[in-house]
Structure 1
Amino acid sequence: MKILFKGTFKGTKTQRRKGSKQIRKSPILFLSSFFFTLFSFSQQQDSTKVNSLDEVLVAAVRVTTKTPVTFSNMDKKEIKYRNLGQDIPVLMNYLPSVVTTSDAGGGIGYTGIRVRGSDATRVNVTINGIPYNDAESQGTFWVNMPDFASSVESLQLQRGVGTSTNGSGAFGASLNMLTDSYASKATGEISSSIGSFNSNKNTVKFSTGLLNDHFELAGRLSTIKSDGYVDRASSDLKSYFLQGTYVGKTTLIKALVFGGTQKTYQAWNGIDAEKLNSDRRYNSAGEYTDEFGNTRYYDNETDNYNQDHYQLHWSESISDKWSTNLAFHYTKGKGYFENYKADALMAEYNLASAGDVSETDLIRQKWLDNDFYGTTFSAKYVTEKLNVIVGGAWNKYEGDHYGKVIWARNAGTSELGDHYYDDYSSKTDGNIFAKANYQFTEQLSFYGDLQYRNVHYKANSAETGLVNDTFHFFNPKAGLNFEINSKNTLYFSYARANREPNRTDYEGGNVKPEKLNDFELGWRFNSEKFQLNSNVYYMGYKDQLILTGRLDDVGNPIRANTEKSYRLGFEVDATIALSEKFTLRPNFTLSSNKNVDLAVDGEFYGTTKIAYSPEVIAGNVIVYKPIERLYVSLLQKYVGEQYMNNIELPAAKLADYFVNDLNVSYEIRPKTIFKSITITGIVNNILDKKYVSNGAMWDIYPYYYPQAGINFLAGLTLKF
């Protein structure tokens, strides 16, 4: 993740947290003590399984078709067909209004997602209801949890403000993920894949099944490696997932420990227009000129990060009407990025000058050492006509930022281990909410949602200055759901959202919190062979923090408040069963995304298009199942042209692109040894389209992130 502190553009994307090393190294001990504590309790409980209690983990943040909110779901079955090593944003690429990109060009390593033109800092992500976005940058860095898709039971993407959730407020979308449910019988799984750019993934999973009808222990180990499409854009990723589950008649308790270690060669500098035409795979990261005038590349221009998550969930079904969920969580992150700096000013690194020498070549590391911990809780009450959820959360982030010089050609009087800067920041985020669905008649229901959120952020650095801000946000939401008949439903909703600035915003100065009023009008049609979801949305912003297209000196996107702006769009997605063998799943979005009376550096530009907001986004999945257990799909994605700044500079325009992927999966069910053997393959960009999905502006000069041409991944999964 990007480190948010001083340096140069060749910076990091690292996010880190501080905490106990002893805890981080003992996940087995953590789960063992959990089971020991519960053992005597289990003797008094009925052994009835309660799969439905899994849903309580995400009930506070998820919605159904009874709720007037625009959303899409993906389950484990849909994920598995393409789960060959690429990251979660890439797997979500074909959902409505979604645009994804990859720094390394092949979907492994650093990946990004935008929804309705809103970037990842505005997509609120939760895992089992626990916030995942970095508290300071508000971004989401999937590279820190490689192969997490292999442990996801289902996910839901709510577009717009959506329902009340934990963590930073959603300004473009909310993504909540539910991790694997428990298995009643013992299972094992081994899967491996290989592909272009020396990419490979190896995964081992297991489950003990329910022991004594009460306990299950399940886990996963994964490794992913790739050289990347871009030169030297390598990834070396490792992850684990360990889950202990207790099942009683009315109780579900889960203890989870999961995390990852990543080492990626930096690939986020981009390339200019000349290189895009002559050498698309060029990477300037680590490039320097030695004392003999030779161009060389530092071989450890890398981002290095460890992140470990601990979650404990207690779901209880008190009666037919009441259920509760209580969770505690802790995330530890620590890491750094390392890079070579030529001709650095010694004074900037606290290196005492030797005589007339004031510059030196050096190798620096920028560190983050962070903790994130807290609790979430909710209670649900259900009757025939009323569904009420009340809950809240309290979370705290603490982060140390510091830099070290590990080598210098002219080191002066410095000592190894000296810090050339030390910053500290903390953020406390608490919220309470109450939301309800009330069925007025058999056809008409009302949805209401009230949330109060309190945020306190402190920081001290040369860039942010001394920050000590407190925000009080009230976020009301309401809507109506009208079932015309068994097949047709109309809904209308209004939602208010407020968000605090992130750390990089404070570096820019004069920053304001932003406000959003989101209106959604939708129609859902559901029949046996045809399902249709369509909606019109209007998102009106006050002081929206829009991407300017520029990057700060460590590569973080710079945002600025625009007093008035809006996003107006029309979204459609459908599932059409043409026959028992053919299914179509098309979607498209038409939108207008505008700044109103935009002023930049005292110059007025009138009404302009918001950066990184294409007016047309379309996707389609054509599924063909010629025989049982053979799955063939053609996945198509079109993204219209978009600007990389807000003044519609011609040089800042990214061209539109249309990409096609071919996915094949065949399952064999032998009678002995293995329960299932699945062969899966995907050919990405089968038409070898040379396209760019992302970029940035250096003053008036565009820089691009080219994506890979035709490439493939193929995998084998053995289940027993």
Structure 2
Amino acid sequence: MNKHIGCTLTALLLSCVSALAQITGTVLDSKTKEPLMAATVVVEGSSEGVVTDLDGKFSLSTDQTSGTLVVSYISYVAQEISFSSNNLNIGEVKLELDAIGLEEVKVSASYVDQRKTPVAVSSITNEQITQRFSGLSVPDIVTSTPGIYTTQGAGGYGDQEIYIRGFDQTNVAFMINGIPVNDMENGRMYWSNFAGISEATREMQVQRGLGASKLAVSSIGGTVNMISQPAKKSKGGSFEYMNSNATWNNRLRFTINTGESDNGWAMTFQGSRTTTSPTLPGQPGGERGPIRPGAFVDAWSYYLAVSKQLNKRHQLFFYAFGAPFKRGSAWGLSERLKNTGDYSVTDNQFNYATGYYNGEFFNSRQNQVHKPQFSLSHHWDIDDATTLSTSAYISIAKVTSDNLRVTASEGANGYDVNKTTPAVRDAAIRTPDGYIDFDLLVQENLDASNTVTVLGPNGDFSADPFTGQRAENFIEARHNDHIWYGMISSLDKQVGNTDLKFGLDLRNYKGTHYVTAADLLGADFVTNTDRGEYDKFSDGNATEYDMNLLTSNEVIRTGDRFMYDYDGYINWGSVFAQAEHHFKKIDVFGTLSGTYSNYKRIGHFWNEEFVGSSLGKSADKTFLTYTAKAGVNYRITNRHKVFANAGSFTRPPFMRNSYQDARYSNNYVNGLKKERVYAVEAGYSFTSGFLKANINAYYTNWQDIARNLSDADDNDVQIEFDEYFSNVPGLRQVHKGIEIDFVWNVLTSLEVNGYVSIADYKTQVPESIPYVGVPPRAGEEIPVGNTAMRTGQLGLHYKGIKDMYVGARASYSGRLYMQTNPIDPYYAGEDIERLPDYTLFDIYLGRYFDISNDLRGRISANVNNVLDKEYIRWANRFFGPAYAYGFGRNYYLSVAIYF
């Protein structure tokens, strides 16, 4: 009996095994014939599925004797393939890109092949952006990669900042389709100017360290390249509404794809509208940001991609992107102001720039910006081994930033209330709950003591004297406009197993900078004079300077220019060459570039303080710099890879830092010279069909750094207009660390991902400094501030329920220090404050659903800082000090329809 049962069970097991069909095949790119690793293969209508291995191969077990396989891969058109018991080997499945010219754009955009190029790189797909980071901007998205720390800045719309391996945004190159977008004059990145770019991004690649950029960009920390959505092959589009309580409340987004016509044209357009909800009934008028009071936003964005296939060899691409907006800025929490004892502020999200004006809630720091960028690219396949890609672009910026200036003390007027106004004066102009009392500032302007008669107004002594109320308190508007032309061209040539690349990068830039009177707060005029600065003249005995001797006794009314008016010119040219040779298991590359930078300033005001150096054209300043990089990649097996790279480059100081005071003077600073950077890196990667893991170690040495030396010998660095930058011999930063990251597909439907970064960022202070002498921290090593040296993240992403996804992540930030100036005597003997470590939890989920045969929908929710943890993202010793608290619990809800 037992023997009979055993035989029966054995027969059943054998029959079960024999019933499981093994379907095999290989998934390839239809154009390049490259295998597509981690493509998804599922049996339609079931939960059976696998992902392809390194060679694009798959083997799927199923108990179905026939059916349909759905083969899909991000950015490609999915294919449905029938199978039966008579056809279990389906051979090669060639998927086509859904986006026209995506590979061509990548060629010209310094996009690297992670398998071959020996650099530390992470890529983020559009699907990940849509599902895991819905509604977030680029800085919040890239926190999913190791070695990166981001802040929300002061907390307003677009205020975020990115630090890569401890280097701030002036030391990171940001590009859209390979076109640089960092500010040409100061290297900064203003994310508010590019609001909406994350929604228009097809793929984002972060190269940490020196990277493999085709441009001669001097990025010490790394490169963030955003590949925008090209025109699609298929017709369709989407409509989406989002709601949030973070830096905005409502967003409407519309996308339309024409598809590719018979004559080779295709177009994709995306437009969005982002707003803050009005205040609730019963509250004062005006608008409030949902987290930071007064940080309202009224923004549009538009994106257009057009492609034209001229013939088999030639293709044209046109891109246009812009984001016009108006917003209320935020100002961080200053302990100096908070603890005056004259008023009480307990809300860590309080905005010190806000108050009440004529009964309305009002923000004195507002911005209006429109910075469109247009580019036209030509891709020419000269032959099967040679490609020439050329892009011409133009960027036009109109930027206005309002700022409140108030009387600081008797005889010393005209300070920025949010920065250098003495605490005693600041308390006097605020209500008991901490808001600015603008009505009080109006009353002060209308005081009889401010009734002033100006003889010879505007330099015309034949005119009658002008009598009116002179503004001691007013709102100024700072204008920073530019027009920027550029061309980037690269030639790619394959000679056997060697890839040769040659590039040319040309830029012509003009920045226009001036100040106008925006609101005189009840007064009639303000004179074009500098009436001293609190920090420079702490005894109150300020010297009064005429800001424009060309028009003396200038009477400034609303809209008139005053204080400063100048143009900055930059001519830039660079050449680039790279050779990459592929042996059987080894890839070797070397890069060399040279750059020409030329600066010039033209002043339109004749400043009394800078009589001999303010008006007219400055001398030209030219720098010749270089970049040299080399690396090797060794594929031990298809699964194991090790790499190493090293590089050295020089770079000029930014134009903004090259003049003793770029707003007023044509004089260059003493000791101005090139900075030097040296870097080495090594790494190991493991890749299989279900696990990808990387370990990277790096060391970067940045020398002869340009630092602010303004009046350092007088124990003062807080002077807003007398900045004095200079290269400091012996001053250097050393950044070193280890990064570990992984993506583990536990199941086809379950992904576990994470990273750990352990770093040490130090500023090494020299024993002596020219023009200053012996610094107070001579020979010391000071931690670099505002960037976490310990970060980690662990995430889960599950899509095992049909048409649904859900995920969570925990992010840790630690060993974070307050920012300070290590060479400034003002902070001598003070400890560098370490900020508390913190961990944040985020969750997200979404579901797709069918509406009709032609309509599909998606609903999603993302909740960040689920536990509503209070934490400090950054702190600055310069202003009080000031502490910027991160956002509490915030969410993004979305409903989308696809057609």
- Code of the residue aligned with 1:195 in structure 2: it is S
Q: Secondary structure at the match of 1:612?
A: coil
Residue 334 (structure 1) shift: 0.7
Residue 338 (structure 1) shift: 1.7
The one-character-per-residue Cα deviations of 1:584-617 (angstroms, maximum 9, x if unpaired) are: 1111111121223445852215222222343212
1:499 equivalent in structure 2: 651
Q: Distance in 1 between matches of 2:145 and 2:451?
A: 55
More RCO (CA 8 Å, sep 6+): 1
Residue 671 (structure 1) shift: 3.9
Report the CA distance shift for 1:274/1:414 in structure 2 as closer, same or farther (over 3 A).
closer
1:636 equivalent in structure 2: 810
2:403 equivalent in structure 1: 339
Q: Distance in 2 between matches of 1:455 and 1:241?
A: 31
Report the CA distance shift for 1:310/1:573 in structure 2 as closer, same or farther (over 3 A).
same
Aligned partner (choices 479, 484, 495) of residue 636 of structure 2: 484
1:693 equivalent in structure 2: 873
- Code of the residue aligned with 1:171 in structure 2: it is I
Report the CA distance shift for 1:649/1:316 in structure 2 as closer, same or farther (over 3 A).
farther
2:622 equivalent in structure 1: 470
The one-character-per-residue Cα deviations of 1:490-535 (angstroms, maximum 9, x if unpaired) are: 1111112222222443356445432111101111110111111111
Residues 247-258 of structure 1: matches in 2 within 5 Å?
A: 247=309, 248-258=311-321
Q: Distance in 2 between matches of 1:552 and 1:682?
A: 43
CA contact (8 A) 1:514 1:544 kept: yes
The one-character-per-residue Cα deviations of 1:593-649 (angstroms, maximum 9, x if unpaired) are: 122344585221522222234321212221122313311111222111222125594
CA contact (8 A) 1:325 1:379 kept: yes
- Code of the residue aligned with 1:513 in structure 2: it is K
CA contact (8 A) 2:186 2:657 kept: no
Report the CA distance shift for 1:320/1:682 in structure 2 as closer, same or farther (over 3 A).
same
- Code of the residue aligned with 1:126 in structure 2: it is M
Q: Secondary structure at the match of 2:372?
A: strand
1:442 equivalent in structure 2: 584
Residue 213 (structure 1) shift: 4.8
Residue 450 (structure 1) shift: 0.8
Aligned partner (choices 129, 141, 147) of residue 91 of structure 1: 141
CA contact (8 A) 1:103 1:268 kept: no
CA contact (8 A) 1:104 1:233 kept: no
2:700 equivalent in structure 1: 539
Q: Secondary structure at the match of 1:553?
A: coil
Residues 267-666 of structure 1: matches in 2 within 5 Å?
A: 267-272=330-335, 275=338, 278-287=346-355, 298-299=362-363, 301-343=365-407, 354=453, 360-408=472-520, 409-411=523-525, 413-420=555-562, 421-439=564-582, 441-460=583-602, 466=618, 468-506=620-658, 509-510=669-670, 511-545=672-706, 553=720, 561=728, 563-598=731-766, 602-603=775-776, 604-643=778-817, 644-645=819-820, 647=822, 649-650=830-831, 652-666=833-847
CA contact (8 A) 1:85 1:147 kept: no
Aligned partner (choices 262, 268, 273) of residue 218 of structure 1: 268
Mind listing any 5+ residue stretches in structure 1 that lack a counterpart? 1-47
Report the CA distance shift for 1:167/1:133 in structure 2 as closer, same or farther (over 3 A).
farther
CA contact (8 A) 2:174 2:182 kept: yes
Aligned partner (choices 220, 236, 240) of residue 171 of structure 1: 220
1:55 equivalent in structure 2: 103
Residue 698 (structure 1) shift: 2.3
Report the CA distance shift for 1:51/1:164 in structure 2 as closer, same or farther (over 3 A).
same
1:718 to 2:874 alignment: no
Q: Distance in 1 between matches of 2:749 and 2:629?
A: 42
Q: Distance in 2 between matches of 1:310 and 1:282?
A: 38
CA contact (8 A) 1:189 1:719 kept: yes
Q: Distance in 2 between matches of 1:545 and 1:296?
A: 44
Q: Secondary structure at the match of 1:161?
A: coil
Residue 347 (structure 1) shift: 9.1
Residue 275 (structure 1) shift: 4.4
Residue 583 (structure 1) shift: 1.5
* Structure 1 stretch displaced more, 377-386 or 337-346: 337-346
- Code of the residue aligned with 2:453 in structure 1: it is A
Report the CA distance shift for 1:83/1:263 in structure 2 as closer, same or farther (over 3 A).
farther
CA contact (8 A) 1:551 1:557 kept: no
- Code of the residue aligned with 1:238 in structure 2: it is W
CA contact (8 A) 1:53 1:316 kept: no
- Code of the residue aligned with 2:835 in structure 1: it is L
Mind listing any 5+ residue stretches in structure 2 that lack a counterpart? 1-95, 277-288, 340-344, 416-449, 455-466, 527-554, 661-668, 710-715, 823-828
Q: Secondary structure at the match of 1:150?
A: coil
- The count of corresponding residues between Structure 1 and Structure 2 is 664
Residue 249 (structure 1) shift: 2.1
Residue 328 (structure 1) shift: 0.5
Q: Distance in 2 between matches of 1:115 and 1:384?
A: 36
The one-character-per-residue Cα deviations of 1:246-286 (angstroms, maximum 9, x if unpaired) are: 12423221111210112111214443278498221211114
* Structure 1 stretch displaced more, 701-710 or 599-608: 599-608
State the TM-score, normalizing by the size of structure 1. 0.85
How well do the aligned residues superpose, as a CA RMSD in angstroms?
3.2
Q: Distance in 2 between matches of 1:684 and 1:614?
A: 19
Q: Distance in 1 between matches of 2:723 and 2:398?
A: 19
State the TM-score, normalizing by the size of structure 2. 0.69
CA contact (8 A) 1:239 1:261 kept: yes
Report the CA distance shift for 1:354/1:450 in structure 2 as closer, same or farther (over 3 A).
same
Residue 453 (structure 1) shift: 0.9
Report the CA distance shift for 1:118/1:265 in structure 2 as closer, same or farther (over 3 A).
same
* Structure 1 stretch displaced more, 608-617 or 491-500: 608-617
The one-character-per-residue Cα deviations of 1:439-470 (angstroms, maximum 9, x if unpaired) are: 2x311221011111111112256799746321
Q: Secondary structure at the match of 1:89?
A: helix
CA contact (8 A) 2:708 2:723 kept: no
Q: Secondary structure at the match of 2:105?
A: helix
The one-character-per-residue Cα deviations of 1:212-249 (angstroms, maximum 9, x if unpaired) are: 15001210111112424122112221110112111242
Q: Secondary structure at the match of 1:77?
A: helix
* Structure 1 stretch displaced more, 588-597 or 650-659: 650-659
Q: Secondary structure at the match of 2:104?
A: helix
- Code of the residue aligned with 2:874 in structure 1: it is N
Q: Higher strand proportion, which one?
A: 1
Report the CA distance shift for 1:595/1:432 in structure 2 as closer, same or farther (over 3 A).
same
Q: Distance in 2 between matches of 1:347 and 1:613?
A: 36
Q: Secondary structure at the match of 2:371?
A: strand
Q: Distance in 2 between matches of 1:92 and 1:128?
A: 17
Report the CA distance shift for 1:505/1:138 in structure 2 as closer, same or farther (over 3 A).
same
Report the CA distance shift for 1:76/1:649 in structure 2 as closer, same or farther (over 3 A).
farther
Report the CA distance shift for 1:403/1:211 in structure 2 as closer, same or farther (over 3 A).
same
Residue 695 (structure 1) shift: 2.4
% of aligned pairs identical? 22
Report the CA distance shift for 1:343/1:467 in structure 2 as closer, same or farther (over 3 A).
farther
